[in-house]
Structure 1
Amino acid sequence: MSFIRKTILYLCLLLVFILLFYFIYNQHKKADGQLKNDLNETENILKLPQPGFVSAYDSTKIHNACLKWFDTVLKPAGFNGGILVAKNNKIIFEAYTGTGHIPGNDTITYKTPMHIASVSKTFTAMAVLKLVQDGKLQLDDEFSKYFPTFNFPGVTIRCLLSHRSGLPNYNYYMETFGWDKSRFVSNKDVFDYLVNHKAEMADITAPNTHFSYCNTNFALLALLVEKITGESYAEFLRNTFFIPLQMKDTYVFTLADTLTATPSYNWRGKIEPFNFLDQVYGDKNIYTTPQDLLIWDRALKSKLIFTDTTLLEAYSPYSNEKPGIRNYGLGWRMYIFPDGNKIVYHNGWWHGSNAAFIRLLKENATIIVIGNKFTRTVYHARALTSLFGNYYKLEDEEQLEEPKISNINPDSVIIKPKLNFKKPTTKKGINVNKSN
């Protein structure tokens, strides 16, 4: 009996030893794997050039002017968010106001990611151009080359990037053709509805005949990125841009972020709830900070990721039917002046979120404003361009992509579809936010 007990005891001790060894081995294996991942991420880090010189005089002058604009123009308009102004990649002015939740005590800081709406298009465009640069596709490839069921002949990747596809806007046609608004729309749904309801869409125009700002273009381009790379759109941006550039407070919104993402509010401070269009990406749905957007700006100028040829293509004007200084490149809005100078920028608006990302290429200056409480004053940040050059006569560019909205009561506006459908199944007037 004593022998049996000893045998059982030894076996139990042996089992404990084996389990302990297995646990320690696995922990070391996990740690080794994590170390390899960390090393891989470290190896992929891109070292951006250091900020350049700005004289004390210029720095003080720019800072004081920005502070005055922030205190007397932006904040009185009910702004809730952050602003950053840089010269030669050096931050000259940076300020934050308000809270992530209204009311709340989670003060907005340089680490608070906010929705940049259509400024996201700059990432989508450059992701596509990176694939072009790497020889994985061509700008003049038709979209149907990669999606054979796409029944819109002549629509090329270049047409999509420059908003010259002639396609209708999914913001309108998803509801018009009976989408169940209790379910989120996906990018694939945008594609499927476009293809399946083509015969019912009367206002489709011939590709590459005129500029028509359309979110559908960039929702489709996100699908293209996924098709070519075999990664999700979010993974590709993370691995190609966010990690190498150490944009640690930037991400592509998914359902998993619903409870943690910084919410947006209308001009009264009332929360803007998520709606059925909030899962479509490529045209919107990147959350970031002013500091991370400055990193993106610096990366574009550093040429560590993109060649001169790629950047020249991105900033080339494609819509020249109408005279004037305003134009659109490949994912970038532009002011092009008679002397050849350019301001490259993009605005964004989705629900209560507004963003302005303005890049003065000649002067190497950057103006960034991101807010989560609706105010059109965010777009007036273009006035700060006068600190770097004779740009004070810039026109109001928002009229190209937004309905006329009074700061008094933007909620009263109902955005009506710009399309005429042969067989409408719902009312034409739909109360929907635009991503611009």
Structure 2
Amino acid sequence: MHPPRLYVITIFLIFIWFRGTSQSITSPLDSRLKTLDSTLTVLHNQAMFNGVVLVAEQGKVRYQKALGIASITNNVPLTTQSAFNLASVSKQFIAMMIMQLQEQGKLKYDEPVQTYLHHFPYTAISVRDLLNHTSGLPEYFDLAQKYLGPLDTLTNDGLVQLLNQHKPAPVFQPGDKWAYCNTGYVVLGAIIAKVSGMPVETFFDQNIVRPLKLKNTYIYYHKSKTVPHNRVYGFRRENGRNVADDLIRLDGVVGDGNVYSSAEDLLIWAQSLSTGKLVKEFTIKEAFMPVKLNDGTTYPYGFGWMIEENGNVLMHTGGWVGFRTLIIRYVDRKQTLIMLANGGNAAGRIARDILDGKPVQLPQTQLISNVRVIDGTGTPARKAAVRLRNDRIWEVGTLTPFKNESVFDGKGMVLSPGFIDSHSHHDLNAQPDALPAVSQGITTIVVGQDGGGLLMDTLQSRLKRQPVAINVASYTGHAMLRQKAMGANGLYRTAKADEVEQMKTLLRSEMHNGALGLSTGLEYESSFFSNRDEVLQLAQVAADSGGRYISHIRSEDITLDEAVDEIIQIGRQTKMPVQISHLKIALRSKWGQSQRLLALLEEARSEGVKITADCYPYDYWMSTLRVLFPKRDYTNPVSAEFAVNQLFDPSQSVLVRYAANPAYAGKSVGDVAKLRNEKPAQTLMNLVAEASDFGQKNPDVSGVEGIMGKSMSETDVRDFLTWPHTNICSDGANDGHPRGYGAFTRVLARYVRDQRLMTLETAIQKMTSLSAEHLGLKNRGIVTSGYFADLVLFNPDTVLDKARIGDNKALSTGIEAVWVAGKLVYQGQKTTGVRPGTLLRR
């Protein structure tokens, strides 16, 4: 039995890494059982196993152990006689009853289901299809939840009626594929009742329980008239507490689950399958034969059994509400493993690996105690502890350490999700320990910005060669696509139709490889000459792949309104989320119009356009000198004069780098003008020309020039930061603008603590969950169970950005520790050398 989406936790089918020791399969069974015993004890002591385990060899019990309780209401201890809901392990019992009816001549496997259930609406589905999971029926959970009332209990007959009434379309034609299907086994339960003329539980008791003299085996379902005395109740651990997790209103059915049994009874059941007590030998043999599909291929599943190693291993798992179950029959080794758990956790994979002599590793937990948790949702801080398990957050609440558990004392400081930098130029290839990022609390960066970036495969290859400390996600850059389709020297025009098609093909491939979407840098020359249609066509490709669009819009100054209209139209026409990169107003005559601009964005949102923004907390930007000429007329004195009067302040705008004359680096344009005895406008034109000439003569040199331009109003910056749909970014790199080392800590210090522009909780939300939402990142950005353990511990009273112009690499203070995927990557203003970062794909 597998749960509806509400409850999907298919533990046994998820491979989990553990730390521990390994033994060869050739080592004595006693030795492996000792390892199993100690392992289960450790897991139980760390609240990761509550259940019963039994191992038998040649029909004799070699190991059995019960750990934990049968119910959280009375704490009755489990025993090997405790009866668990078997979940999907129930299917083998349903299959056995069908086999018995077949031997009695009351049904045939290859007859249509309609032969026995006249209201079943699918003519081509046979009984065998139900047994083998080849029916093509959809799962019943969604159907039941859609059409049942909140107080209705689903039954087997009720499900058949729902199928007949609503006739949901089959997923495939019977026999074409194998697809696990709980619906089929519920229908089998209805067939058993119909053909036998008695309730399923009665037939089960008469034909399986009594012949095998089982003492703790029965069928029990929601609203059964009696409650067996030894029934085990499901529960789960939730933030350090046990909470009920037992039968729900769908549990009026029998077939895909709701058979109860004990470990001792299951051993008797397993042994009976080779004795002929219940059905003849040739009948049971067919249950262990792989299903044959219509195209002649086979799939390793029989009648309620998974088949492995050419039939030498027969097994099944189950997971439903708080129950996790497993039965394995090692036919060649004559061994049986039975595991029954009711605490919402399991150790089946571990136990099997131990018996198979494979290496296993126990889950690693660590506790971060004595912290104020600001969880990223915007809700108030609370005192709590946070427990990590491997790379995920496991629990948040009032927690006490397990025996020998690693404990990190947070000393009353704030623990929040690691910050997500939605717009980054940090070069992890050059600095794999990511000091500029982690020193300000960043655990994930998003690259491929402003139309640039790398192909996803190239990124992945780099990360494999050179692991990094933090996570990386990427957009696909428009300029990169243009260069590959048009050539490096062909970018200064609109693209031809065939070139646009080439770009679209490559973009589709990148989206398939996990890019977040399309990024553009329309103010830069490599993309400036594209028209709206080219951008829109590419954006539609990203939208069709479920992606997003982020843009350094076409103008942040003289044609700002037109540029904003362009991104709004892209959002309106593609219907995908669109985001303005580093939102700003860079034209002096338009300073103070932030509220008008935000009103435009809100109007678009009210019409259904999903437009958002990110913003960095500075009133000076960093780019190239060439962006100061919006008309690209670099030798026009009028345009140069306009730039120094409207687009930047020469006296406060500093050259970060200038390869044509390295002595200019660190000086303002005004300073350089004085050195050259020129007016700032003339110097601006000359600097552009000299850098261009240097670049042509030195084509292998990248980043010939860069400037930090002072050209924004502090009032506008404050307005943009506080817009509810703005998340924080750095737009930073390893060098240059101080934002590369201090954007996030600057928000916490300047705008939260000093100016009280927003609450600390709001600021954290803008750095974490809101960023994740805007990027489409899953399971990141909130301190909650199941999310990745990307975390930052900081002191809100001392956190401070120290990076400044002239000292742009000064480390922030107050960031005490940073974890990525549960690994400590930064502490005491030093990186640890641990590099658990990964490439995040859409």
**TM-score (ref. length: structure 2):** 0.38
CA–CA separation in structure 2 for the residues paired with 1:319 and 1:73: 40
Distance 1:242 1:222 in 2: 17
Relative to 1, partners in 2 of residues 1:306 and 1:202: Cα closer, same or farther, differing over 3 Å? closer
User: Equivalent pairs: percent with the same residue?
Assistant: 26
Query: Deviations along 1:159-206, whole A, 9 cap, x unmatched?
Result: 000011011111111112x211212111111100011101xx345421
Contact 2:55 2:336 (8 Å CA) reproduced: yes
> Structure 2: how far apart are the matches of 1:323 and 1:264?
42
DSSP-derived class of the 1:270 partner? strand
Kindly state the Cα deviation for residue 323 of structure 1 after the two structures are TM-superposed: 12
2:150 corresponds to which residue?
Answer: 181
How has the CA–CA distance of structure 1 residues 273 and 120 changed in structure 2, closer, same or farther, with 3 Å as cutoff? closer
Q: In 1, are the aligned partners of 2:272 and 2:278 still within 8 Å (CA)? A: yes
> What CA distance in whole angstroms lies between the structure 2 residues aligned with 1:325 and 1:138?
21
Q: Which residue of 1 aligns with 2:71?
A: 101
Aligned to 1:193: 162
Q: Structure 1 residues 356 and 317, CA, compared in 2 at 3 Å: closer, same or farther? A: same
- Give, in whole Å, the separation in 1 of the partners of 2:282 and 2:209: 22
- Once the two structures are TM-superposed, the CA of residue 266 in structure 1 deviates from its matched residue by 1.6
Q: CA deviation at 1:408?
A: 5.1
Match of 2:326 in 1: 356
The within-5 A match list for 1:284-303 is 284-303=257-276
Equivalent position of 2:173 in the other structure: 206
**2:291 is the alignment partner of 1:315:** no
Q: Which residue of 2 aligns with 1:117?
A: 87
Q: Please say if residues 114 and 370 of structure 1, whose CA atoms lie closer than 8 Å, have aligned partners that are also in contact.
A: yes
Distance in 1 of aligned mates of 2:44 and 2:294: 35
- Please give the secondary structure, in 1, of the residue aligned with 2:198: coil
Q: 1:79 and 1:102 mapped to 2: Cα distance? A: 14
Work out whether residues 86 and 323 of structure 2, in 8 Å CA contact, stay in contact via their aligned partners in 1. yes
The aligned length equals 334
Unaligned runs of 5+ in 1: 1-56, 394-405, 412-436
Q: What do residues 351-383 of structure 1 show as CA deviations (whole Å, max 9, x unaligned)?
A: 011100111111111000001101143344321
In structure 2, what is the Cα distance between the partners aligned to 1:171 and 1:211?
A: 19
2:136 to 141, 144, 166: 166
| TM superposition shift of 1:299 | 0.7
Q: 1:248 aligns with which of 215, 223, 226?
A: 215
Q: Which residue of 1 aligns with 2:671?
A: none
Pairs within 5 Å for 1:74-153: 76=46, 78-102=48-72, 104-153=74-123
Q: Which amino acid aligns with 2:216?
A: D
Superposed displacement of residue 312, structure 1? 1.8
CA-CA distance at 1:69 after TM superposition? 3.1
Which residue identity lines up with residue 232 of structure 1 in the other structure? P
CA offsets 1:217-249 (integer angstroms, 9 cap, x no match): 011111111112112110111111111111111
From the superposition, tell whether residues 71 and 303 of structure 1 become closer, same or farther in structure 2 (CA, over 3 Å): same
Q: Residue 409 of structure 1: CA displacement?
A: 5.3
Higher mean displacement: 244-253 or 300-309: 300-309
1:83–1:368 Cα contact (<8 Å) kept: yes
**Greater strand percent: which structure?**
2
Q: TM-score with structure 1 length normalisation?
A: 0.71
State the partner residue of 1:13: none
CA contact under 8 A between 2:102 and 2:108: conserved in structure 1?
yes
Q: Is the 8 A contact 1:165 1:208 kept in 2?
A: yes
2:245: which partner in 1? 272
Is the Cα contact below 8 Å between 2:138 and 2:170 reproduced in 1?
yes
Measured after TM superposition, the shift of residue 309 of structure 1 is 1.2
RMSD: 2.8
- Is 1:357–1:366's contact at 8 Å kept on the other side of the alignment? yes
After superposition, the Cα gap between the structure-2 partners of 1:384 and 1:257, relative to the gap in structure 1 and judged at 3 Å, is farther
Quote the Cα distance in structure 2 between the aligned partners of 1:224 and 1:410.
44
User: Partner of 1:131: helix, strand, or coil?
Assistant: helix
| 1:104-133 deviation line (CA, Å, top 9, x unaligned) | 331111221111111000100011011112
Contact 1:62 1:92 in 2 (8 A): no
- 1:42 alignment partner in structure 2: none
CA deviation vs aligned residue, 1:77-114 (integer Å, no higher than 9, x gap)? 52111000001011001000111122633111122111
Letter matched to residue 276 of structure 1: R
Q: 1: CA distance between counterparts of 2:392 and 2:44? A: 13
Displacement of 1:306 in angstroms is 2.2
CA–CA distance in 1 between the matches of 2:297 and 2:324?
Answer: 26
- Say if 2:44 and 2:68, in contact at 8 Å, map to a contact too: no
Report deviation, 1:305: 2.0
Which runs of structure 2 are paired with 1:51-62 in the superposition (5 Å)?
58=28, 60-62=30-32
Residue identity opposite 2:78 in structure 1 = I
Matched position secondary structure for 1:92? strand
Structure number with greater CO (CA < 8 Å, separation at least 6) is 1
The verdict on how the C-alpha distance between 1:248 and 1:309 changes in structure 2, with shifts beyond 3 A counting, is same
In structure 2, the residue corresponding to 1:221 is in which secondary structure?
helix
> Which residue identity is paired with 2:281?
D
1:235-268 CA distances to partner (integer Å, 9 max, x unpaired)?
1111111111111111100422458532111233
Pair 1:65 & 2:38 matched = no
Provide the C-alpha distance between the structure 2 equivalents of 1:194 and 1:110, rounded to a whole number of angstroms: 39
| Contact residue 186 and residue 256 of structure 2 kept, 8 A | yes
Task: Tell me the amino acid that sits aligned with residue 211 of structure 2.
Answer: P
Q: Deviations over 1:369-412 (max 9, x none)?
A: 0011011433443214415xxx779xxxxxxxxxxxx985599x
Q: Could you tell me how far 1:303 is from its partner in structure 2?
A: 2.0
Counterpart-to-counterpart distance in 1, 2:395 and 2:140? 22
Tell me the equivalent position of 2:300.
Answer: 327
**Cα distance between partner residues in 2 of 1:292 and 1:65:** 25
Contact kept in structure 1, 2:49 and 2:346, CA below 8 Å: no
Report if the CA contact (8 A) 1:320-1:327 is conserved.
Answer: no
Write the distance in 2 (CA, Å) between the matches of 1:58 and 1:385: 10
For 1:196 and 1:344, how far apart are their aligned partners in 2? 37
Partner of 2:312: 342
Change beyond 3 A, Cα 1:163–1:342: same
- With over 3 angstroms needed to count, the CA separation of the structure-2 counterparts of 1:410 and 1:89, relative to structure 1, is farther
Amino acid paired to 1:179: L
What is the DSSP-based 3-state SS (H/G/I as helix, E as strand, rest coil) of the residue aligned with 1:366? Answer: strand
- Are 2:195 and 1:223 aligned? no
CA 1:63–1:357: 2 relative to 1, 3 Å: same
Q: Does 1:156 align with 2:126?
A: yes
Q: Note the C-alpha offset of 1:273.
A: 4.6
Distance 1:145 1:320 in 2: 22
Q: Hey, what's the Cα distance between the residues in 2 that align with 1:240 and 1:408?
A: 47
State the one-letter code of the partner of 2:243. K
- Aligned equivalents of 1:59, 1:213: Cα separation in 2: 34
Distance 2:392 2:319 in 1: 14
Please name the residue that 1:371 is paired with. Answer: 341
- AA in 2 matched with 1:182: L
Larger Rg: 2
Q: 1:226 to 1:90 in 2, by over 3 A?
A: same
Distance in 2, Cα, partners of 1:101 & 1:283: 23
- Between the aligned partners of 1:307 and 1:121, the Cα distance in structure 2 is 19
Corresponding letter in the other structure for 2:157: K
Question: For 1:119 and 1:205, how far apart are their aligned partners in 2?
Answer: 25
2:199 to 220, 226, 232: 232
Question: In structure 2, how many angstroms separate the alpha carbons of the residues matched to 1:251 and 1:180?
Answer: 28
